[in-house]
Structure 1
């Protein structure tokens, strides 16, 4: 747990989130740096769970870990359905998807930089 003398940074929160997702067997974890691109947060993390049950479990454990480690209760949406759960810690936004739902929305494509933004395609 973070003490009063510790400084909570988005990098510390991100590291804790990535470790929690790895521990809970989340798949295809993608980290997107949002700093300087938007005010919604510093990082976005997108991952998949194999089933609605695993998506809900990953999300519940992640929210509890963030609360235990940093004293912050993240906002969570979508846990009841288990297709797509959003966990918002303030600095780091996490999306946990079932693979089919992730493929449908393709959030990574909206936020990741294009390979060559100046290229012209005919």
Structure 2
């Protein structure tokens, strides 16, 4: 499947990540944490976790991001959770974005799961 504008997969993935990070910064999302999941998951190349201050802010951050991805040529991303705006998941293919209210983010603590030490590299005796 060709990448947008004939860009290689790596470049398209980096461009998508840059679009996501710029949009989140512009929307005043908080605690933005990009995580490289290449080689760890077939879900995508990058995961980004961010917080909004309230239901309304989470929804506004997600709406702004969806528009930014579409305007940048990445098409319509898949989205879940926008109606309740506690935890919105946006899947653009190469980049998966989670936007949480702070309490929900603390409860699920996705960063701990994805940023934990790689146990495959340790030798168990």
Pick one of 96, 103, 119 that aligns with 2:106: 103
Count residues in correspondence.
Answer: 119
TM-score by length of 2: 0.86
TM-score by length of 1: 0.88
Deviation string, structure 1 residues 97-116 (Cα, Å, up to 9, x no partner): 00000000001111113299
Q: Which runs of 5+ in 2 are unaligned?
A: none
Q: Which runs of 5+ in 1 are unaligned?
A: none
Deviations 1:58-91 (A, max 9, x none): 0011011101111410000000001000000000
Residues 119 and 104 (structure 1), Cα distance of their counterparts in 2 relative to 1, 3 Å cut: farther
| 1:4 aligned partner | 5
**Greater helix share, structure number:** 2
Q: CA RMSD in A?
A: 2.3
Which of these residues, 50, 56, 59, is aligned with residue 59 of structure 2? 56
Residues 1:91 and 2:94 are matched in the alignment: yes
